[in-house]
A and B are shown apart, each in its own frame.
Chain A
């Protein structure tokens, strides 16, 4: 197996795909946003409870490929309990990581778990899979009302 491929599907990603964290509906959510990739049918719904600009709780539901599901799972663990501004900072960093715009040092110093997605940069077709949940979360934070699509 090609090493880039193994890097893409590293154990932490496969593991989050098998046992996604914060999976399911969140009652009393203050922010709900749906994200879809119509080309491959990936579909997620992100629920958040935001109080005083802090993401008190976050959950997601939906289905899609391993990359998209693991990314959604990791995203929830990263932003949970964080102020909105910090979540946005992670959103920007995540985007840089999956498009290969960071250097390795920056990635590993500040990214923590999301560094696992650095392998996506080798496979441009999978960037949309990896970013879907993050874009959905970002749009929910922005207070957007409509759902998110990778094709708009």
Chain B
């Protein structure tokens, strides 16, 4: 363990990396900021902030429209970002990358543009009980509209998927499996390859909610063979308001448009129109150009560090944190998957998560308290809320030490 930590500390030098993140260098309530709410959103490095400024100061124009120099530069920047995204997740072509506002919009896009066309009354969509509401509500809306049926893969006490009944809930009416790659509550990394293989054996497409995985793990969509993959820029150093939908080319070609407007059309008459080619068919209106360029800059930054190094370092942080946290009396950690990422949900004794997170905030520590947009999980575990600490590569072992110390202090303060 010790030697492992030493070696990865050389590849990920968090102390040095932190200098790239101006926001981390501040005090909150008189204490150095410890930002452990990365599952919600991550901080931005100077490189990303500068990419935005540079774009607005030098190149700002609309894309795919003007013949003028600025429009050409903006288009170039926007389309280069698309290529970077494609390369980052191993997509064969950048035409498979659709820019959206985020994971939520990406999934809504599939539910609307693919679901409305291919899902009919009595058809079945398989979800899991560990889904974030963003991979749940769009399917509920679709199912209500179409008279389709939602079926759920349940979760175990360990916060992993229970596969015992899996094959029996698949049927010839199953139209889609939509599942999270990494749980935002338990940190569980689901056995996606296995799910996709079982699904594809029956000709069922699979959508991956990769909001929590793409920022932390090396992803290769060709290797995973997923049909759809959705993720957000802001959870991986990029600005809010930019996200990605990846899909297999044939799926995109067969889908109807999502929204109507400029950019997504080829020819327009009084009563009908023809659609632009992919990916533009799905990008109506002026896109978040600066956001896409920011996402490109974020990907450059992540590539410089190396996703494998990031995963490795975060695994060590997580193991270190879990080990220390489990020594705290009355600590209950939700989720104990063998393969997991750096999101840890927990409760200490009877201390309510809101009181605990308020206490931690006073000590400069930012964590999330609540139901984490995963009320099915909360109901299953019969809890109203948990506190969640979630890490990124700029977090340090020292921060975890301080965090664990403050958890003990909080317990003392609330006197349970």
Contact = CB atoms under 8 A, between A and B. Distances in A.
Interface in A5-62: 5, 9, 14, 17-18, 39-43
B70 interface: no
A67 B355 contact: yes
11 contacts: A1-B362, A9-B355, A14-B414, A14-B415, A18-B416, A41-B385, A43-B384, A66-B352, A66-B355, A66-B414, A69-B352
Given A5-B362, A14-B414, A129 B354 contact: yes
A106 to B, nearest CB: 27
Contacts, number: 46
Interface in A70-98: none
Contacts of B362: 1-2, 5
A142 interface: no
B407 to A, nearest CB: 15
Given A40-B370, A66-B414, A2 B29 contact: yes
A110 interface: no
A38 to B, nearest CB: 9
Name, among B362, B369, B416, the residue most crowded by chain A CB atoms within 10 Å (CB to CB).
B362
B355 A65 contact: yes
B415 A18 contact: yes
B378 interface: yes
Contact of A2 (B30, B353, B371): B30
A64 B352 contact: yes
A51 B19 CA distance: 67
B358 interface: yes
A40 B384 CA distance: 8
A16 to B, nearest CB: 13
Given A1-B362, A9-B413, A64-B384, A41 B30 contact: no
Contact of A126 (B353, B358, B378): B358
Contact of B384 (A5, A63, A126): A63
Given A2-B362, A43-B384, A65 B415 contact: no
Interface of B: 29-30, 352-355, 358-359, 362, 369-371, 378, 384-385, 413-416
A68 to B, nearest CB: 8
Interface of A: 1-2, 5, 9, 14, 17-18, 39-43, 63-67, 69, 123, 126, 129
Contacts of B358: 5, 123, 126
A82 B414 CA distance: 32
Name, among B30, B359, B369, B385, the residue most crowded by chain A CB atoms within 10 Å (CB to CB).
B385
Contacts of B416: 18
Nearest to B371: A41
A123 B361 CA distance: 12
Contacts of B359: 5
Nearest to A8: B358
A41 B384 contact: yes
Contacts of A64: 352, 354, 384
Contacts of A39: 370
A108 B414 CA distance: 25
A40 B370 CA distance: 5
B312 to A, nearest CB: 35
Given A1-B362, A67-B355, A42 B415 contact: no
Contacts of B353: 65
B137 to A, nearest CB: 15
The 7 closest A-B pairs by CB, nearest first: A41-B384, A65-B354, A65-B352, A66-B355, A5-B362, A41-B385, A65-B355
Nearest to A62: B384
B354 to A, nearest CB: 4
A42 B383 CA distance: 11
A70 B329 CA distance: 24
B40 to A, nearest CB: 14
Nearest to A38: B371
Contacts of A14: 414-415
A7 to B, nearest CB: 12
A60 to B, nearest CB: 16
Contacts of A126: 358
Nearest to A39: B370
A42 B29 contact: no
Contacts of A2: 29-30, 362
B194 to A, nearest CB: 33
Contact of A40 (B354, B413, B414): B354
A26 B385 CA distance: 27
A63 to B, nearest CB: 6
B18 to A, nearest CB: 25
A18 B416 CA distance: 8
B414 A41 contact: no
B401 to A, nearest CB: 19
Nearest to B359: A5
